[in-house]
Amino acid sequence: MIRYEVKNETESEEVKYVCFVDDDTFPQNKFALPVPPILLSLHGCGIIDTSCGLVCLEGSLRKSDNSETDMVVLWNPSIRKSIAIVVPNDGPSRFYPLVGFGVCPETKDPKLVKISSKNDDDDDDDDDGNQVMVFTLSSREWRCLSSNHLPRKSLVFDNSSQTVIGRFLYRFVFNGELYLISSFDLTNEEFGEVPLPDSLRRSYLFISKLRESLVLIDDNEESTTEDIDVFDIWMMMEDGAFTKLFIINNASVERIIRIMGFKKTGEPLVEIDVREDDNSDPTPVLVVYEPCLDHININDLGICRGAAFFAMCSYNKSLLLLDYDDGIILIRNPKKQNSLLNSYMKMLPWLEFDIQVEILKRLPVKSLIQFRSVCKAWKSLIDSSPFISDHNNVGHHPLSEHLMIKCGASEENYVCFVDDDSDSFPQNKFATPPVPPIFRLFWPFNTAIHSSCGLLCVEGLLREPDNSKTHMVVLWNPSIRKSIAIVVPNVGAPSGFIYAATSRVIPFVGFGVCPETKDPKLIKISSRNDDENQVMVFTLSSREWRCLSSNQLPLKSLEFKNYCQTVIGRFLYGLAFDGEFYLIWSFDLSTDEFREVPLPDSLRRSYLDMSKVRESLVLIDEEKGHSSTDMQVFDVWMMMEDGAFTKLFTIKKASIERILGFRKTGEPVVEIEIEIVDDVTTALIGVYEPCLDHIKDLGICRSATFSVMCSYNESLLLLDHDDDDGCIVRAVEN
């Protein structure tokens, strides 16, 4: 399908673009196009050419200081996208720089060729001749082509017409004496000359194309008489020779002024002058000329123009530019980068979509999931990895902190709260998202749920069809209800081995999302043969486990304490025992490096619980056998910015059994034992308010097992993973 586009400046100087579908229905199938806003700001706008569905226009932008910048706009009308490119201006040139345009048919990379002919009054040293610069959209840069690519140095490039056929860009050139056609190969960037019959070299010809052949239009200026327009149409044949295709010998009343181009049937579109009577000014009108009938239907297209010329081009539909953002490409590495221009650009009417992006970034996840359906652009934005990563950055969503508490083995035992600042806590309980479907085949360990960047990590055993058990972790984003299960490789353990209750044989699995790449990462440390900890790392992007050389571990004979971990920023913290003392280690999620975090000696003697308050590491030291009374004593330590630990507060309260974690206000969420019947403990969960020494009941009661808690933010992570909810990644071990 080919369309014609006509630029029509009416008397009010309004620029109009009209399209026709170039098929049998022509010219019934006509439609208007929304014009890229930048075009409205350009002066002296003209169409350079079309190639592979892209329309290339040029014009100049007048800045506030009245200086002008030459610009080229690449526009794909089929998908309504455009990119503007600033044309470098080398010095005070008299002319518009001459810009050629074509899309390389092999790479589909749009290319611009700028030829600045040297001033005539330049000194005679023609050493540089015509200076040629080439721009490719993929590189976004202008670079110089050495001038010896030009066939002759003293050519005068005319800037009125060009045409692209296949991989060649043709132009009409004057060498000071005769005319010739230069070709530029869009693939290898070489200039050439197309041989012309001598008879065609004497006058200026208009260059065009008919289907995929080069056509020259000779308007026989000298030879025409007053009454008859004679145009010779020449076509370049496959062997490179030129043949006269037909002659337009129009004797009708209306005078043909110019041939604009051709329909794909070969009929020319021409500009004619229409006068209502002999005294009135002529009105230029665009019509189709039918050579066989020597006929013109004036009302055919219904287009007449004002002061400026018509411009016409034919284009196909294409998807080029789809992968580019609308915008302006400034000149890079020029002598002077003009930030004024840069500032000015920001005000051009393009940014409609930018403001939508800014608003979307600030919406809660659920709204975003709904608003994917608003339009295509929103869906592709929301689903894109940069948006997913960016959206998770804190500060945008005042209500996005959640506490999830699990107080039993079954699905109903997950409860969520919005952890907001208001006094409404804990009323703001919300429907807990359904647990991932894989949980039905899965025995989650009841020991911990870890969270990082809105993803929860639940570790457990999967019951295989043959009744064997596979150690795995499920990454779960409750905000968008997506999950991915990952099998933890079982190196060294006997096949069919069922993990026993002793933590010594279950490898340690740590989880964190690298804050820079937003790539979820797992580390597995298996204490094999007691003296060598083998470390493996899994990233969701690679879907592979790979070994980390163990010498990155500070000490080889550590016993890593399962389930005790916390992610803060880019560090994953955990607890280990070196046979004598406890220590805290950190794992850098960006660089995969282990470090030891220095602890005060007093904290190294007993098992510690680890948690966080906002973005600080917190250790909970339960003082056992502290006193003869039933009083439970918990010391809460916080790691300060300088790495030192400070005792935050001490909780002494008889009824508190365990500290599960902290609200963002710093108040601990605790478990209170209420009764033991037949060895089954029943406990309540509440928030301890240290100032009031009071426990606010959360209305959750735990049965048989431990309860665990984690806090998480809303996030879009996993949205761009195509997998079905709950799919299992059985990663290959490397």
Please give the residue ranges that form the binding site for another protein (CB under 8 A): 41, 64-65, 338-340, 342-344, 346-349, 351-352, 354-356, 358-364, 366-367, 369-376, 378-379, 396, 480-481
In which residue are the tokens 């029509």 written? 8
Identify which of residues 8 and 479 has a Cβ nearer to another protein in the complex.
479
Identify which of residues 282 and 434 has a Cβ nearer to another protein in the complex.
434
In which residue are the tokens 């970034």 written? 361
Output the smallest distance, CB 368 to another protein, in A. 9
Identify which of residues 252 and 342 has a Cβ nearer to another protein in the complex.
342
Which among 696, 648, 692, 637 has a CA at the least distance from the CA of 672?
Answer: 696
Output the smallest distance, CB 319 to another protein, in A. 15
For strands 708-713 and 401-406, give the pairing.
antiparallel
Output the smallest distance, CB 369 to another protein, in A. 4
Per-residue DSSP letter, 233: E
Which pair of tokens denotes residue 92? 């005070």
Output the smallest distance, CB 434 to another protein, in A. 8
Identify which of residues 80 and 275 has a Cβ nearer to another protein in the complex.
80
Return the number of other C-beta atoms located less than 10 Å from residue 580's C-beta: 7
Which residues 6+ apart lie within 8 Å of 343 measured at CB?
A: none
Identify which of residues 41 and 707 has a Cβ nearer to another protein in the complex.
41
**Is residue 305 helix, strand or coil?**
coil
The CA distance from 383 to 721, in Å, is 9
Taking CA atoms, 414 is separated from 440, 453, 630, 682, in Å, by 14, 19, 30, 17
Pairs from 302-305 (Cβ < 8 Å, separation ≥ 24):
303/6, 303/8, 303/18, 304/8, 304/274, 305/8, 305/9, 305/10, 305/271
Identity of the amino acid at 342: N
Burial class, 274, CB count within 10 angstroms (exposed 0-12 / middle 13-18 / buried 19+): middle
Q: Order of strands across the sheet with 54-62?
A: 42-51, 54-62, 68-76, 81-86, 327-329
Identify which of residues 578 and 725 has a Cβ nearer to another protein in the complex.
725
Longest dimension (CA), the chain: 124
Identify which of residues 221 and 352 has a Cβ nearer to another protein in the complex.
352
Output the smallest distance, CB 733 to another protein, in A. 33
Output the smallest distance, CB 126 to another protein, in A. 37
Which pair of tokens denotes residue 641? 């910015």
Output the smallest distance, CB 351 to another protein, in A. 6
Identify which of residues 118 and 361 has a Cβ nearer to another protein in the complex.
361
Output the smallest distance, CB 413 to another protein, in A. 20
Output the smallest distance, CB 367 to another protein, in A. 4
Output the smallest distance, CB 375 to another protein, in A. 5
For strands 668-677 and 656-662, give the pairing.
antiparallel
Across-strand partners of 449? Answer: 458
Identify which of residues 146 and 422 has a Cβ nearer to another protein in the complex.
422
Which pair of tokens denotes residue 77? 């009308």
Which pair of tokens denotes residue 181? 């056609």
Identify which of residues 237 and 347 has a Cβ nearer to another protein in the complex.
347
